[in-house]
Structure 1
């Protein structure tokens, strides 16, 4: 989504999108499985667009964050030239994505897109050809609805009715492919305003791209940009390369903020959805934009790299400082992001609230990328235990940003992390399959159903339940050697209000390191609360979908037995 200068109007857009989602899933008395968008991931569509057209997270530059809709041939050409001259192309940045503002919604009598040739001499094919002439790939932008973001939120240009592709999917995506574009970002302003179903609309778009590719032989990366509406991480992997998981990381006219960076990072924690060719997208980078320090830029890149997120720079490349160029082009950081396994790093420890450790399994056996993140307002020591990383007792440690080898350590590595910053490490040791974290679904022995958070809720206090197993993110749990059961990357299974009596609700809550969020996962299948000594229990020994999970005195019944899947 592209925001206007007024934050109020931005929030209105998000409210509209959320209202659409609520309307689609309203009526909690109806089982969520009855709602197509509610539970399971969609099977992969047999279209060209659903197959990976890339094997690494896309990297490049996009026009929106710096220029909004005020773009033309010369603006893009200057950025292309700077991408090459700066060395970022050689570092792996290859896409040049022309975002909103290139088209004002005009069409000829046959419905073909027309553009202002004073701004785009030779049409859009000419700028795509120029991008290709520099050894780069070209990206373009449209909306899933009839009227795109430039109609609802004009930024730098008058409102542009008709600047979306609804009703012209086959025609427009074939045109993009014939012009030579390799990437298309499809926004959701019109889709939200018109009440479209995102899953249905983006499937139709994916199919149209597949048909275009069949005619031209040119595959296109599809970037789904519906801001996390209707949980795209559960269906977009079957139809696209990348999908936005949240609202914009910056609104035009504002300076970047670490609060927004952290919020977008948190919203993109869906490791079960990510695989080679399919990526959670926390939005474009704000590194190098006015108002962000070098330390903030490094923290930002660390978080995107540990996530295996697309790296699409948004700063003005023609005025970029040498410091920013070095940060964006750091080959070790890029290598972590582009690791061929395409794994998303997961949180493996949070010994105290806001002091977090994230680990990403790398392709080379025994190697992990590790982020030590301090979200608090004061410098603090953060510790990475090698057992949490799934490694043996000793390992070598390297600080990536300082390019410093820190030697071999035993058991763990600790360092002071400044307030609201991160340290990025590579830790190399021996795989320890019996230790570290375990990620998967937890299946009740009696019910055969999975430990589930209803409708992908993230609200503190949401009670866990049983539901048919779907392998979706709301059933994907990680057990750390710190004995937490985490979900979504930032929520922990919690004994509500530190309860220690039978019937205490098992809920999700922000991870805080307290004993009521620690569990012993035992060989007999029980999961026992460290603080309470009580076991996770399917209430009343019920087995139906929606059965609530509570704590109860440990016994021998199968409604207290769980296994990993």
Structure 2
């Protein structure tokens, strides 16, 4: 192979803003595009997990009072989300929503005024289709036809804004049953909210809930504050399950979609629900915090235990979730199956939140290597839940994690240059074509190739703190096939696993070297045409091993 090198600069731009604690009010709205955007992940309480559709003004006021009295408000919990069940699909002759005055004395405006009087913000719920979830899946109330907003978007979202609501969750039961296109439907909703805001001057955060059916992480950031990536974490009548928590955590891993004002949503918290232990509550909260997910408590705040309160209001944990960079943590290592390390870059430079997650059935030691976090050899480690400084460590820190639990750490050190960089494209110098995954395939084992640069998702790469090159929003990693270390090994995509055959050294001389093999990313046979396959080869001096950013 003819090989050469040229400079490739992957300079990291790190924010130097220091964060010492959580904001007093998470998710304060600002206008961004057609809808409002929370500057940090929205925090609050939602009615569904505890009450399903059996809600009324008395229920909501009891929870509002408890949010204030329990200290949740001062910890940053701000939104009170009135979920499905508040409306049974009734309208007046003009098509305006009407509600049962026995359930909601004074109507929804009076309910909003009460929430606002306590220094909190109010959230409301509807469906994108003609009939909402309460029609298809009645829980606590009779089936309610017509409880969706389809055909009334401008009327309903203007009404919500005039009532004073600050957030609207738009579900997908009707849209799903009608076979609607989620992207165009939610764009119409977002545009309608924009028109309502123009009339009232009141920002309204949009929470999209198509349960990840139509890949909202690819389009929702441009039109909403948050979007669900998965099915409900708990169905009505079920007990919470750590398996479901992990499944939703995994499904929400789309780090390229997330940033300040736009968040993957793995669903409302089940912290404090009957059936979850204190350790499970902490593990669940750790995973949502490392994800930078919205924190919407779903338990009964008025009757919660002291332990549940301590989990929900832990200032260090909330600060990790509410970090102003808005980044989502990503997996950076899995030395053994089920023993995983996740890292989230925090504001201030050299700061990481880290979760050591043990998915196995036995307690196991998990090693956090500072190099995997993008930090220099020496770093200070703090155990967040125990509020204990573990001291300054050299190269790594090992902690024993109980089965099916997680340990949450903060690690502070010195940044290593060149990691955590979001890359638009990686182009070959010799070919002037981009590193590409053929036909948008997400199948494990699909070989990387050269193709005309087009800026599409199958050519957009991120160089993570764990030295992985990820594509499709972090869903897949560039991988040396079958952990191969011989020249000619195919370079493919695979589920990210943190192993060395998925780690790459992006060097100043322009080469991209496999950590496991020491070989270089190479356009096979010095090819320059569309479809040229990418392989590993002995590093040399040819232009077919030269890569630059675009």
Q: TM-score, normalised by structure 2?
A: 0.86
Shift of 1:185: 0.3
State the partner residue of 2:274: 290
Please tell me whether the aligned partners of residues 269 and 295 of structure 2 are also in contact (alpha carbons under 8 angstroms): yes
Please show how residues 526-537 of structure 1 align to structure 2 within 5 Å: 526-529=511-514, 535-537=520-522
Residues 491 and 51 (structure 1), Cα distance of their counterparts in 2 relative to 1, 3 Å cut: same
Secondary structure of 1:81's counterpart equals: helix
Shift of 1:430: 2.7
- Asked if 1:507 is matched to 2:492, the reply is yes
Shift of 1:549: 4.0
Please tell me whether the aligned partners of residues 282 and 309 of structure 1 are also in contact (alpha carbons under 8 angstroms): yes
State the partner residue of 2:96: 112
Distance 1:63 1:543 in 2: 57
Distance 1:244 1:181 in 2: 20
State the partner residue of 2:5: none
State the partner residue of 1:7: none
Distance 1:564 1:48 in 2: 29
State the partner residue of 2:157: 173
Secondary structure of 1:430's counterpart equals: coil
- Asked if 1:494 is matched to 2:479, the reply is yes
- Asked if 1:320 is matched to 2:301, the reply is no
After superposition, what is the alpha-carbon deviation per residue over 1:492-550, rounded to whole angstroms, capped at 9, x for unaligned?
A: 32333445677654333234455543445455544444566665445673543x66544
- Asked if 1:382 is matched to 2:366, the reply is yes
Secondary structure of 1:494's counterpart equals: strand
- Asked if 1:218 is matched to 2:202, the reply is yes
More deviation, 274-283/487-496: 487-496
Q: Of 20, 34, 39, which aligns to 1:55?
A: 39
After superposition, what is the alpha-carbon deviation per residue over 1:324-378, rounded to whole angstroms, capped at 9, x for unaligned?
A: 0110011111111111222222222233332222222222232222212222222
Shift of 1:168: 0.6
Please show how residues 118-157 of structure 1 align to structure 2 within 5 Å: 118-157=102-141
Secondary structure of 1:106's counterpart equals: coil
- CA-atom RMSD, angstroms? 2.7
After superposition, what is the alpha-carbon deviation per residue over 1:274-293, rounded to whole angstroms, capped at 9, x for unaligned?
A: 22211111111111111111
Q: Of 231, 237, 257, which aligns to 1:253?
A: 237
Residues 386 and 514 (structure 1), Cα distance of their counterparts in 2 relative to 1, 3 Å cut: closer
After superposition, what is the alpha-carbon deviation per residue over 1:80-118, rounded to whole angstroms, capped at 9, x for unaligned?
A: 121111111111101000111111111111111111111
Please show how residues 203-214 of structure 1 align to structure 2 within 5 Å: 203-214=187-198
Q: TM-score, normalised by structure 1?
A: 0.84
Distance 2:529 2:77 in 1: 51
Residues 64 and 340 (structure 1), Cα distance of their counterparts in 2 relative to 1, 3 Å cut: same
Distance 1:423 1:49 in 2: 38
Please show how residues 304-453 of structure 1 align to structure 2 within 5 Å: 304-433=288-417, 437-440=420-423, 441-453=425-437
Segments of 5+ residues of structure 1 without an aligned counterpart are: 1-46
State the partner residue of 1:262: 246
Q: Of 461, 465, 470, which aligns to 2:455?
A: 470
Distance 2:390 2:486 in 1: 47
Shift of 1:59: 0.2
Distance 2:447 2:407 in 1: 34
Please show how residues 164-203 of structure 1 align to structure 2 within 5 Å: 164-203=148-187
Q: Of 216, 239, 243, which aligns to 1:232?
A: 216
Segments of 5+ residues of structure 2 without an aligned counterpart are: 1-30
State the partner residue of 1:241: 225
State the partner residue of 1:44: none
